[in-house]
Chain A
Amino acid sequence: MKTTHHGHQHDDDDEGELRLQLGPLRDLHHQHTESAVVNMSVRVHAALQQPRRPLLRGLTVSIALGLATVITIVVVLNPGTSNPEGQRVIVSTTTDTSSSNTAKQDVRVQSTPKMRATASAAQSNSPAVRPRNMTNSQVVLLRDSEMLRAVNEANEDALVDRILEQETEDDFAILDLTSADVDAVLP
């Protein structure tokens, strides 16, 4: 019987057979591993002296990266943040074959909730809100809340001036105003 490195015992016959068949493979393997791990004890002791890495460091980095990604996506893709006016215009050019092959531009305006609310107010029947001499479709196409507000303010002033000039109830009819409209603009 032969005792191995780990204290196990093999029959000599088995060993002889294996040695005959496989040659010095085992010895070579042991020589190789022996030389490979020659400094392992030093490496392990040196590594053990190093302070341990914080367990949550990896997790913290992952969370920070995730948050940064989410913030980036929100900032880049949110139209309200990237474009304060909230306007996103999609322009597509199509060729109209029925009108002498003339190129025709089809311009569509994609609105935001804020714009829709402004446009809805502008489309209401109140002349105090709707600028005079403008059709509903013109108001919708205007779309710009700042411009709309400026026009409305100018019209309000003009309206008050005209009401004060006429001073008769009949004149209100000429102006096509309701009493509620008048109440709204008079102090």
Chain B
Amino acid sequence: MSTGVLTLDTDTAILEAHRAGDTERAATAFVRRHQKFVYSVALRNLHHHEENAKDATQEVLIRALRGLESFKGESTLQTWLYRITVNVCNNMRRKQRLLSFFSVGDDDHERDVVAADSISPADAVAQQDFLRYLDTILDTLPRKQRETFCLRYFDELSYEEISEMVGTSVGALKANYHWAVKKIAEHVRTSDFYAAWMESTS
């Protein structure tokens, strides 16, 4: 047995362990390896609602583990998970729209998206709500630019992997990423909130 299988630090090792019947250990390694990525994608697709994103992450990982046996390896595990996550999030949003149409459930599901400049720097710094500020910046970007930027910058995927996930050419992804970085940097440079936050954390 190879070291990789023993430590389960690669997708191949996890899949091998799972197929060999070591499902418990494979599941644990699988969840630890991919949970952050799934949560990150879910958070973006669910209007940054953290509790919903956690529920979606749990649902995605369970579905993936139950379907791991049938995973054919035609794409990477991460691409497969990305597609499951987007589907689960779409279903959740559809369900919430339906429930809100019939006024069932909590009305506070959707987190308020406040314009970045409308947040008082003092208040926001006091609340340590920098991530909320970041979300509002990302919300100003077109969807493709935002998704490309997040997958590349936060999830640290290669252009080739992103291309496989979202079905866009590498050239187009590079252009989207370039424009996204430019806009975000511009926003950050001119933001009083960002300056105050940097000052408070330095």
Alpha-carbon gap, A28 to B131, bound state (A): 8
- At the interface, is chain A mostly helix, strand, loop or mixed? helix
Interface string of A13-55 (1 = CB under 8 A from B): 0000010011111101110111011001101110110000000
Instruction: State the CA gap A45–B62 with chains docked (Å).
Output: 8
- Residues of B near A6 (CB, < 8 A) are 78, 155-157
Q: How far is the CB of B79 from chain A (nearest CB, A)?
A: 13
Q: Do A28 and B130 touch (CB < 8 A)?
A: yes
B57, B134, B157: the one within 8 Å of A28 (CB) = B134
| A residues near B39, Cβ cutoff 8 Å | 33, 36-37, 40
The count of residues in chain B whose C-beta lies closer than 8 Å to any C-beta of chain A is 34
Cα distance A137–B35 in the bound complex, in angstroms: 84
A interface residues, Cβ below 8 angstroms from B: 4-6, 8, 18, 21-26, 28-30, 32-34, 36-37, 40-41, 43-45, 47-48
Give me 16 A-to-B residue pairs in the complex whose CB atoms sit less than 8 angstroms apart, sorted by A's number.
A4-B156, A8-B156, A21-B181, A23-B194, A23-B198, A26-B154, A28-B131, A33-B36, A36-B43, A40-B54, A41-B28, A43-B58, A44-B58, A47-B58, A47-B62, A48-B62
Q: Which B residues lie at the A interface, using CB under 8 A?
A: 27-28, 31-32, 35-36, 39-40, 43, 50, 53-54, 57-58, 61-62, 65, 78, 130-131, 134, 153-158, 181, 184-185, 188, 194, 198, 201
Counting from the closest, the 5 A-B pairs by CB-CB distance are A21-B185, A4-B156, A37-B35, A40-B35, A33-B36
